């Protein structure tokens, strides 16, 4: 079975696939135009978030049998269309859960204690000790929108910090230590809101002007899920009005953004979609990609 690895993947994982008898080629910089001519020669491909596998590409790949996305979401793949063509589509939903969860919790600490602003003033040689009275996370209510693999990891860490954790997820009935509530209840009760759900037709734009109006004044918002779930214009308004005290964003509707006004706000901290970017997560993602492809090859 011939596999094309289109995005950066651990060398150990690639060697593991080769050792199992797969023919594996790598091209971590392949362009969409090149893919149209190259991918038809392969039985399978591995992508991360950079490479898009859309319907026009699928249509010119009659030999394609399997697509593996190293990571959580499938929003860069026309997965339903691929499956309708008999192509197996898989991802690695658990490999990076701990890394994303730790980033979300880290963001909450940074917001609560103004770590970014305090660092900035120190670098400017200012000693503004009285300007940075923060708050503790313990005793605060964390609202999780989505309690899949990552949401559960966030909940475990938040509970250990003494937070009350509530969650909204229409696909989950119960989670240990977490009170399941409606979305409106979550918006009204939470001191911190953290998003951990895929971007779908249902979730796109689900946090907009109406939802911000239902939140507590002074709430903090964390998004390490996907851009486009939060209406960025509505978030900008909520941040500038004081409705939302601060936001921490790892994901954006456009990546990289073309309009930088949101990230330039003083009460926004952000990162360039690095939730899964830890050595440990990358190793687990690579290992899981290799395992899934080897198993697939054995059964086909």
Residue 184 and residue 101 share a domain: yes
Residue 74 and residue 211 share a domain: no
Where residue 69 falls among pLDDT bands split at 50, 70, 90?
very high
Where residue 200 falls among pLDDT bands split at 50, 70, 90?
confident
CA 125 to chain centre: 36
What are the tens digits of pLDDT across the range 289-299? 999 999 999 99
- Determine which one of 136, 255, 280, 295 is catalytic: 255
Residue 227 and residue 170 share a domain: yes
Concerning whether 185 is annotated as a catalytic residue, the answer is no
Residue 60 and residue 105 share a domain: no
Residue 104 and residue 86 share a domain: no
Residue 104 and residue 80 share a domain: no
Residue 146 and residue 102 share a domain: yes
Report the distance separating Cα 48 and Cα 45, nearest Å. Answer: 10
Tokens of 17: 């696939």
**Rounded-to-5 percentages of helix, strand, coil across the chain:** 40, 20, 45
Residues of the domain holding 157 = 97-270
What are the tens digits of pLDDT across the range 75-88? 889 999 999 999 99
Q: What average pLDDT is seen over the chain?
A: 95
Region of 235 please: left (phi>0), alpha (psi -120 to 50) or beta.
Answer: alpha
Asked whether the beta carbons of 256 and 230 are under 8 A apart, the reply is no
State the Rg of the chain over Cα. 21
Per-residue pLDDT averaged across 260-278, rounded?
96
CA 42 to chain centre: 29
Residue 142 and residue 79 share a domain: no
- Determine which one of 69, 157, 196, 226 is catalytic: 226
Neighbours of 160 (CB within 10 A): 11
Residue 138 and residue 213 share a domain: yes
Concerning whether 273 is annotated as a catalytic residue, the answer is yes
pLDDT at 300: 85
Per-residue pLDDT averaged across 24-48, rounded?
95
Residue 134 and residue 62 share a domain: no
Asked whether the beta carbons of 207 and 229 are under 8 A apart, the reply is yes
Residue 263 and residue 138 share a domain: yes
What are the tens digits of pLDDT across the range 93-116? 888 899 999 999 999 999 999 999
| Domains identified in the chain, total number | 2
pTM: 0.89
Residue 71 and residue 169 share a domain: no
- Determine which one of 54, 113, 185, 273 is catalytic: 273
Picking from 6, 12, 7, 8, the residue whose alpha carbon sits closest to that of residue 290 is 12
Cross-strand bridge partners of residue 178 = 175
CATH number at residue 251: 3.40.50.720
Picking from 189, 248, 245, the residue whose alpha carbon sits closest to that of residue 223 is 248
């Amino acid at each position: 079975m011939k596999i094309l690895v289109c995005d950066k993947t651990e060398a150990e994982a690639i060697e593991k696939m080769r050792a199992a008898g797969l023919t594996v080629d790598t091209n971590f910089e392949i362009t969409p135009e090149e893919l149209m001519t190259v991918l038809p020669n392969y039985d399978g491909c591995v992508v991360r978030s950079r490479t898009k596998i859309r319907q026009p590409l699928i249509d010119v790949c009659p030999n394609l049998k399997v697509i593996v996305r190293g990571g959580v979401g499938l929003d860069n793949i026309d997965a339903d269309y691929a499956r309708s063509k008999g192509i197996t589509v898989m991802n690695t939903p658990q490999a990076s859960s701990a890394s994303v969860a730790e980033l979300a919790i880290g963001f909450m600490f940074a917001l609560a204690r103004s770590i970014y602003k305090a660092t900035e003033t120190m670098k400017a040689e200012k000693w503004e000790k009285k300007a940075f009275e923060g708050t503790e996370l313990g005793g605060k209510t964390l609202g999780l929108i989505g309690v899949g693999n990552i949401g559960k990891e966030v909940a475990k860490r938040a509970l250990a910090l003494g937070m009350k954790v509530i969650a909204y997820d229409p696909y989950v009935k119960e989670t240990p230590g977490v009170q399941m509530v409606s979305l409106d209840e979550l918006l009204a009760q939470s001191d911190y809101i953290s998003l951990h759900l895929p971007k779908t037709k249902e979730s796109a734009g689900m946090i907009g002007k109406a939802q911000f109006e239902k939140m507590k004044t002074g709430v903090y918002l964390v998004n390490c899920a996907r851009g486009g779930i939060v209406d960025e214009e509505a978030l900008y308004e909520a941040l500038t009005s004081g409705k939302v005290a601060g936001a921490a964003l790892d994901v954006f509707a456009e990546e990289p953004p073309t309009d930088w006004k949101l990230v330039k706000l003083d009460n926004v901290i952000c990162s360039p979609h690095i939730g899964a970017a830890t050595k440990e997560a990358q190793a687990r993602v690579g290992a899981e990609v290799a395992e899934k492809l080897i198993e697939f090859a054995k059964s086909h």
